Amino acid sequence: MRNWILHVDLDSFMAAVETLRNPELRGRPVIVGADGDPTRPRTVVSTASYEARQYGVHSGMPMRTAHRKCPDAIFLPVDLPAYETVSAQVMDVLRTFPVVVEVWGLDEAFLGCRTDDPEALARDIQRAVHERTGLTCSIGIGDNKHQAKLAAGFRKPAGVARLTGDDWTAVMGERPTTALWGIGDKTAAKLAAMGIHTVNQLAAADPADLAERFGPTNGPWLRYLALGKGEATVSDTPWIPRGHSREATFTQDLTSPEEISAHVSAFARRLAAEADDAGRRIVRVTVKIRFRPFDTLTRQTKLPSPTTDPDAVDTTAVAILDRFDLTRPVRLIGVGVEYEPKN
């Protein structure tokens, strides 16, 4: 008997839920994103079924690109309430097992457990999830969250895989740095400029050089990932958000300061109402503006005192706009609020 961490990853979650609601979609390429209209600009794919992925469609891809790659796909709008309901059902199934469940999102969770056969436990969990919800999931097993997360992607869909410190170098060593959880294309490009292309090379890199290039915290953290390290504690304590935000990308660029201000005001008032409903008070307001083509700037202001007064939040957000040059076309507007810490 020993401690293990399992990562449960629901396969093609949103598309799978849509297929459960409409069995006629089974076996067909399904793409879920935005309002479901693939001709609208500046919208992206949220989830693609495995049939759609065979055409090269993936999450985060522009909907227009997905439509070009797979014109015969079924395009559907995001239905968040439906996905939240099904996700809650899955998490309830996981809690019937002798594990600690840390919900990580709508479609994934980390499980802490003590067992002598983690693969058997993983398959029992897969069967239970499928029997009670109709969904399939892939499960990764590791010594820490990083390893378990990576392992869950090895045998998708509906597979079980293990990755531990014992076989880390053999499995991961010659893979590109993007194979690590937390390293994207931009970071990988910066590493490549340093002559670091593989996980092994990053693991052998000089921490001082990494700190100089990426900062005293992020630099050593990248090497930490390459060594197969990661958080090894799973907690079922509910996550308490530090804040909330709302944003919108517009199909047509905004050029009117009055129209931009109206959107900021609407977001600010909505966030104030949501904070009040949640019993939280706002201490800071942030406004994000993305100009054409892709220049993004943020500005923020701390409130004189914690509040949920929509007038105060609205006035602050609109005042922040004065710190932007609004003579350029705007493609995205976002407003965020930071909450007063809970005792």
**Region class of 134: left (phi > 0), else alpha (psi between -120 and 50), else beta:** left
SS3 for 3?
strand
- Farthest-apart Cα atoms in the chain, separation: 65
Secondary-structure breakdown of the chain: helix, strand, coil percentages, each rounded to the nearest 5: 40, 25, 35
Query: Angle of helix 185-193 relative to helix 207-214, nearest 10 degrees?
Result: 120
Report the distance separating Cα 170 and Cα 116, nearest Å.
23
Closest of 55, 98, 52, 105 to residue 75, by C-alpha: 52
CA angle (328 as vertex; 326, 334 as ends), nearest 5: 60
- Tell me how crowded residue 184 is: count the other CB atoms within 10 A of its CB: 10
Closest of 15, 14, 236, 11 to residue 139, by C-alpha: 11
101 near 236, Cβ under 8 Å? yes
164 near 142, Cβ under 8 Å? yes
288 near 334, Cβ under 8 Å? yes
Which residues are marked as active site?
A: 108
